[in-house]
Amino acid sequence: MDVREELKISKDVAPGQELALAILLTREYVAHIQEKEVFEPEGLSSQQYNLLRILRGGPSQGYMIKDLRSRVIYRFADMPRLVDRLEGRDLVERHTCHHDKRGSMVRITEAGIELEARVRVRLDALVGHLDRALAPEETAQLVRYLDRLRDDYRSRLDGSGF
């Protein structure tokens, strides 16, 4: 369905506005379905899962909290708060960094590894649906277009800590 039709927009919109609306609306659909079908049944948010995924794939000693921000999808997330919540569920553990006493290292626990694996199975099945909606060459082209858009926006944010 055309984004203007779905949002019941009767007036003309600039191509940039239509593109932004299409991206945002699509993101809302994907995020809502992932939250309801994948993350909420395990008592997680998508941001918490993203952090578990990063820690599972990282070095065994973990990452410093300050270094996690450049690895997460949600760049404006409150990283210490996310870590606190996961630590409260014994999914991650925090310890003093030996080379930087001002910082904390965070690593995933065995319980976190098990939870991440369970969630990943459901997420992989759901994300597989995205591959069915487009032909492989369309998927590759869309990813390239989105990369270019992010590059343009990232250049606007240089120096802002994003």
41-78 residue pLDDT tens: 999 999 999 999 999 999 998 999 888 988 998 877 88
- Ramachandran assignment for 62, one of left (phi > 0), alpha (psi -120 to 50 degrees), beta (any other): left
97 pLDDT more than 80: no
Identify which of 95, 103, 99, 119 has the alpha carbon closest to the alpha carbon of residue 43. 119
Domains and CATH numbers, the chain: 13-148 (1.10.10.10)
For residue range 146-161, list pLDDT tens digits in order. Answer: 999 989 888 887 755 5
Q: Which residues contact 10 (CB under 8 A, 6 or more apart)?
A: 4
What pLDDT band is residue 1 in, cutting at 50, 70 and 90? confident
Residue 51's nearest CA partner among 87, 13, 83, 76 is 83
